[in-house]
Structure formats: C-alpha cells, structure tokens
C-alpha cells in the first residue's frame, strides 16, 4: 500500500527507516546516561500507547500501603490506574492499598491495586478494586 498520495515526500515507511538509521548513529555516539534517558522516554511512550483508559493529570496526595505506608503524590489517574511519583522501592507485581482524598471532597477513597511498572520517577499502579462510581466522578471532575 502506497501512502505517498502523489507528493514528492518519501512515504512514511521510508522516513521512519531513515530516522531509525540516524537514531542508531546518535545512540552509538551518546553517553550511557543519555542512552538511559532515551530508553526511559521510549518506554514511557510505549506504555502510553498501551493504555486502555485516557489519563488525566493531577496532583493528589496519596497514601500507598504495603507492609508500611508511604505518603506520595499521584501525577495522573484514569479509570484503570494511576501514576504515583515516588523514590520508594516498589516492585512490579506488588499489591498496594491506595488511600486519598480527592479535591473538593471530604471523604477518602480506598482502592487496591498492583504495581505494573517502575521508572526512575515513580510507579504505575493498576487498580484491582472493582470499578467504583465515586472514582469515576473524581476523574471526571479533574
């Protein structure tokens, strides 16, 4: 299938192949720290493409409980989970209990989840609690 549509521009596949070749040269000439940052960014992009529910940015204080409780901040949230900024050492697969008070609400929400990814900036948590009408209202209000 030709996606050129009659223009003088190379087709998308050819442009991507050229970009990949240029990226390979750039990667080889980059420091290990630069390579790690690029890898982290690409993994974040890949994860964003796999999401089933759109994320909404937020800054909500959240208590993350395992065998002990950590006080952190959620950076974004969706019907399926949230990303929590933390430097604590959570492991993928670890089950957590999340407790937070949504903006403009007095009642705290308590949700269970499991860590599905870990980055240098924090953890991605997939909710394991059944869908909750209160949580949906919170997300819609952000």
* Residue with token string 């420091």: 31
Domain ranges of the chain: 12-50, 56-141
- 75-127 residue pLDDT tens: 999 888 999 999 998 999 999 999 998 777 778 889 999 999 998 899 999 99
Please state, in angstroms and rounded to a whole number, the distance separating the CA atoms of residues 87 and 90. Answer: 9
With the C-alpha atoms ordered 41, 28, 87, 113, is the resulting torsion angle positive or negative? Answer: positive
Question: Using one digit for the tens of pLDDT, what is the confidence trace for 22-81?
Answer: 888 888 888 988 888 888 877 776 666 565 667 788 889 999 998 889 999 999 998 889
CB neighbours of 31 closer than 8 A, spacing ≥ 6? none
Identify the CATH assignment for 56-141 out of 3.40.605.10, 3.50.50.60, 1.20.810.10, 2.40.10.220: 2.40.10.220
* Strand intervals (E) in 10-137: 56-65, 69-77, 81-85, 95-100, 109-118, 122-127
């Amino acid at each position: 299938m030709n996606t050129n549509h009659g223009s003088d521009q190379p087709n998308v596949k050819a442009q991507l192949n050229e970009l990949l070749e240029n990226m390979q040269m750039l990667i080889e000439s980059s420091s290990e720290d630069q390579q790690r940052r690029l890898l982290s960014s690409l993994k974040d992009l890949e994860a964003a493409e796999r999401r089933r529910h759109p994320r909404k940015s937020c800054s909500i204080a959240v208590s993350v409980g395992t065998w002990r409780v950590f006080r952190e901040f959620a950076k974004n949230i969706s019907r399926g989970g949230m990303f929590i900024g933390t430097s604590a050492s959570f492991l993928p697969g670890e089950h957590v209990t999340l407790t937070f008070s949504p903006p403009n609400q007095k009642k705290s929400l308590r949700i269970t989840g499991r860590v599905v990814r870990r980055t240098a900036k924090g953890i991605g948590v997939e909710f394991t609690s059944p869908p909750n009408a209160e949580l949906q209202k919170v997300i819609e209000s952000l």
